[in-house]
Amino acid sequence: MEKFKKIILKILKWTGISLASILFLMFIIPILFPGTISQQVKIFANKHLAGKLDYKKSHLTFFRHFPSLTVSVDDFLLQGSKPFQQDTLLAAKEVAVGVNLKNLIFNREVRIDEIYVTDAYANVFVNSKGEANYNVYISSPSEKPKDTTETGASIKLDLIKFRNCHIKYNDHSARILVDAKGLNYTGKGGLSENIFDLKTNLDIDKIDFSLNRIYYAQQKTLRADLITRINTNALTFVLRKNELKINELPLRFTGFLSILKDGYNLDINAASQKTTIRDMISVLPPQYLDWAKDTKIQGNSDLFFSLKGGFSEQRNLKPRLKARLFVKDGFVSSGKAPVPMNNLNMDLNIDLPSLDTEQMSLDLKTLSFNLGPHNDFRAVVRTQGLSEMQVNADVKGAVDLQTLDQALGLKGIDMKGLVDTNIQAKGIFSMDKKLFPKTNGYLNLKNGWLKTQYYPNPIQNINLIANIHNTDGTFKSLGVKLNPFQFDFEGNPVFVTADLQNFEDLLYKIRAKGVLNVGRIYKVFAQKGLDVSGTVIADLSLNGRQSYATTGQYSKLDNKGILILKNIKATTSYLPKSFYIKEGNFEFENEKMWFRKFYAAYGKSDFSLNGHLLNTINYFIERKGTLHGKFIMNSNYILIDEFMALKNGDNNKKSIEVEYAKVENPKSSGVVIIPKNLDVSLEAHAEKVEFKGLILNQLNGTASINAGQVYLKNTSFDVIGSRMNIDARYQDESPLTANYDIALKVQDFNVQRAYNEIDMVREMVTAAKNVKGIVSLDYKLKGDFDRNMRPIYPSLEGGGIVNLRDVEVKNLKMLSVIGDDIGAQAFDNPDMKGVNIETNIKNNLIHVEKFKFKVSVLRPSISGTTSFNGLLDLRVRVGLPPGGWIGFPIVVTGTHEKPKIKIFSKTGQGIVDALYNTKSNKVIREERRAVKKSRVQQRKEKEAQEQKAKNAEKQINRDLKEK
């Protein structure tokens, strides 16, 4: 017994010594090696990270991620790579790297084999051009020999852990958004080996996924247990064990993914077998989940999908997607339902070869349910293709909406009425070929009634009888009848009948009458993001044939009636704010829709219109119709800045291009986007027009909008106290760029006032600050606008004449320097009254034709080239009395602020012009000083540049005359 006690004491003694030693080492190693580790990690970060890295405190300890020795940093911040240097890529409460203890002690080498990230936000972003913010890791060039003397950390990962992270992946080029909150991830395996198994555990509390702004998953939970074999040599990923659970729906994946030089190959199969309908419903949007909790749901479901094939943009390859959803013996019943939804069955197959919607095959083999005797629904639908679609459909059912409402237990909505439908269709649908499946069917709704929780009063007495028929598979035999469609809302009946025949040359007979409070009916449905108000009053009778209008047989049309809009709010996808139609009285008269009274406001701008739209019926009939019209427009004030696409406003329904441009350029205003489906002329009268601080008064002229372009003809306005006449053309290219042509004439405007009040004058003609008096201008220009709708100067092309009618030019540095060198102080105040200066502009250079003026008894002349950035390459000849027949040459180089002169010289130093890419709207090369060349070479280059500029001016004239 005594011997046994001694053994126990020795074991305890050495255990205690070992533990104490371990604890001592755990405390002493961070003290012995902090400099080594911290220095080498910093070397690694500075060498391999392109983004800016910042953190508050660093720690070397065993105790944060026991038993690993970790280098931890608090309040970690890593910014993105170009062009996202100011944006956050990763922010975290803690980022830690585990250090291999053996290598540290015996080799004094820091090898990172673990990574920990805690309470982090990762913002991964790819813009519309495909530029990504995550390219912050700089790898060493493979062709360089390894420097064995270089110190620093190395990475050989065996473990990655993320805890409580928010990861957002937003790819504008692919229009994909993934937003994962509450993400916990653990990845184990020999991540630095050539072939290894990566074991992954992933939990996400809430995940959103959208494509093209359509959400396919919102606020879903995700659990994943994965084993993936990774071959880094061949970049192949084999899915060995991959079990996912989205909310309550389990999914199993098998297959592989191989990354190639120009894309990838994949063969992935996924299945959710022997699950329930309730599990399937759990992946629906959140608003349906509360309903599911309180509803009895039974039945089985299976989901299968596969993705197989190659993906390569270069080789135009895309994989094939197949999916099948199977629901059997479904049962749905709320607590109060007298009759449940029973025998719910669905078998849906989708096949998408090469991810090409034109080849898409949809096979709904069955969709059926019943709600008691004589109250059932069934549908069989098969389609092949898209723009030219093979259709075989059979839909039949009679449903009591009140019974359906009670069976489903729908919350916030009550409905009544009897729906009866029976439609068979077989054949080809093609808008281009004017084909329509042979069809016979009807949809009837009797005594309909609809009330929601959002508004106290129902829409009632809803009756609809709709019939459709087609006998030969063409548009010609297609007929649709609504006889009638009617409902009552708040005591106001609405009645519509329509008889549409022969869609090749539509024969229409439509009658509509009623009063509709748009604002109140909007409240019935209460869709978020919309704000509709106002009243519509209609009493219309439209009778005619489509070809009567297109062939000018207006006497055969019998379109008449009125449409009155009051206080209607309207938005478009390309304007940041809403239009408010205060009053719109429209009268239909055969082919014309007359605007008898039309008053609207847009932000601070106001408009009144009188005139007509032509052929409006055809516009709504045709797939790509264009509205034609002629109006007189009057306005007290128009603020053009409000129409710029990226300005802030109340419109939440902007196009995806505008939305992405706003996100990527938050400080930009964008340009004005012009509708592409208008061909309208306006006789415009505006008391005041404002554009970027420039005020135009008493604007009068003719404007036309055609195919996305705006033309101004014979338009005049008062600006800086003078009357200006212009012809112009404007066209947007994207929400961020636009192009324009302009020919302008202005008589007798004040140079100093123009310099002080017009930004473009200050930027283009910097010498104007030394000029006082009155000048006239006759000029033509074309160019591009940038993302703030400011001129891009290297894009400007054109030319014209400036007449110095009555001016004083004082202390112009270029002339003053000449005067100082030749002893003629009169150059400080030359006589330039009545001088015409002809210039041409191209590639950021201004070519000045030779002009003469007076300086006391001298007769100087100037010609040459200058640039918008102030470079000079001018030839001056100073003519001596009498008459200036004899003179001497001077060359002026340098800049406007620091001119350099050479007397008795004709050899200057040319300017290499800028290069501008009209497709990307970018300056490829700015203008710069040329290397010194002979006078002959300089003269040839100058003549070539001037000829280009003159050709540009002629082209502007031709473009403006064409419209």
- HEC profile for 353-418? HHHCHHHCEEEEEEEEEECCCCCEEEEEEEEECCCEEEEEEEEEEEEEHHHHHHHHCCCCEEEEEE
Position 146 scores a pLDDT of 45
Weakest mean pLDDT among 28-42, 112-126, 188-202, 296-310: 28-42
Position 795 scores a pLDDT of 94
Position 67 scores a pLDDT of 54
Position 149 scores a pLDDT of 41
6 falls in which pLDDT band (50, 70, 90)?
A: low
Q: Nearest Cα to 439, choosing from 398, 481, 467?
A: 467
Q: Nearest Cα to 687, choosing from 629, 633, 730, 727?
A: 633
Query: Mean per-residue pLDDT for 729-753?
Result: 92
Q: What is the mean pLDDT of the chain?
A: 84
46 falls in which pLDDT band (50, 70, 90)?
A: low
CA distances from 629 to 410, 555, 695 (A): 47, 19, 29
Position 109 scores a pLDDT of 53
Q: How many residues does the chain have?
A: 963
Task: Give dist(CA 163, CA 179) in Å, integer.
Answer: 16
Q: What is the pLDDT of residues 932-946, one digit of tens each?
A: 666 666 677 767 766
Q: How many CA atoms lie within 13 A of 899 on its CB side?
A: 24
Query: Mean per-residue pLDDT for 746-751?
Result: 87
Contact at 8 Å (CB) between 414 and 405?
A: yes
Q: Which DSSP string do the residues of 587-607 spell out, in sequence order?
A: EEETTEEEEEEEEEEETTEEE
Residue 145 scores a pLDDT above 80: no
Position 144 scores a pLDDT of 46
Residue 768 scores a pLDDT above 50: yes
Q: What is the pLDDT of residues 262-278, one digit of tens each?
A: 777 889 898 998 888 88
Please indicate whether residue 455 or residue 90 has the higher confidence score (pLDDT).
90
Residue 875 scores a pLDDT above 50: yes
Position 471 scores a pLDDT of 95
Position 528 scores a pLDDT of 46
Position 486 scores a pLDDT of 94
Q: What is the pLDDT of residues 9-23, one digit of tens each?
A: 666 655 655 555 544
Please indicate whether residue 883 or residue 631 has the higher confidence score (pLDDT).
631
Q: What is the pLDDT of residues 657-692, one digit of tens each?
A: 999 999 899 899 999 999 888 899 999 999 999 998
Query: Mean per-residue pLDDT for 159-171?
Result: 91
Query: Mean per-residue pLDDT for 633-640?
Result: 96
Q: Which DSSP string do the residues of 108-167 spell out, in sequence order?
A: ---EEEEEEEEEEEEEEEE-TTS-BS---B-PPPTTSPP-TT----EEEEEEEEEEEEEE
Q: How many CA atoms lie within 13 A of 595 on its CB side?
A: 20
Q: Nearest Cα to 96, choosing from 81, 110, 77, 76?
A: 76
The token pair that represents 715 in the structure block: 């338009």
Residue 101 scores a pLDDT above 70: no
Query: Mean per-residue pLDDT for 1-12?
Result: 66
pTM of the model: 0.79
Radius of gyration (Cα) for the chain, nearest Å? 38
Query: Mean per-residue pLDDT for 729-757?
Result: 91
41 falls in which pLDDT band (50, 70, 90)?
A: low
Position 150 scores a pLDDT of 43
Query: Mean per-residue pLDDT for 213-236?
Result: 81
Position 817 scores a pLDDT of 83
Query: Mean per-residue pLDDT for 610-626?
Result: 79
Q: From its phi and psi, is residue 657 left (phi > 0), alpha (psi between -120 and 50) or beta? A: alpha
Contact at 8 Å (CB) between 470 and 436?
A: yes
The top-scoring range by mean pLDDT among 81-90, 104-113, 796-805 is 796-805
If residue 832 lies in a helix (H) or strand (E), which one and from where to where? none
Task: Kindly state the percentage of the chain with pLDDT values over 70.
Answer: 85
Position 236 scores a pLDDT of 80
Phi and psi torsions of 313, nearest 5°: -65, -40
Strands 678-691 and 627-635, bridge-based pairing:
parallel
Contact at 8 Å (CB) between 686 and 746?
A: no
Contact at 8 Å (CB) between 50 and 75?
A: no
The token pair that represents 773 in the structure block: 């008096």
363 falls in which pLDDT band (50, 70, 90)?
A: very high
Query: Mean per-residue pLDDT for 843-847?
Result: 92
Weakest mean pLDDT among 325-339, 575-589, 771-785, 939-953: 939-953
Position 151 scores a pLDDT of 46
Residue 153 scores a pLDDT above 60: no
Position 24 scores a pLDDT of 45
Sequence-separated (6 or more) residues with CB below 8 Å from residue 242: 224, 225, 226, 227, 228, 252, 253, 254
Query: Mean per-residue pLDDT for 518-532?
Result: 63
Q: Tokens 């009895």, residue?
A: 296
Task: Give dist(CA 165, CA 204) in Å, integer.
Answer: 9
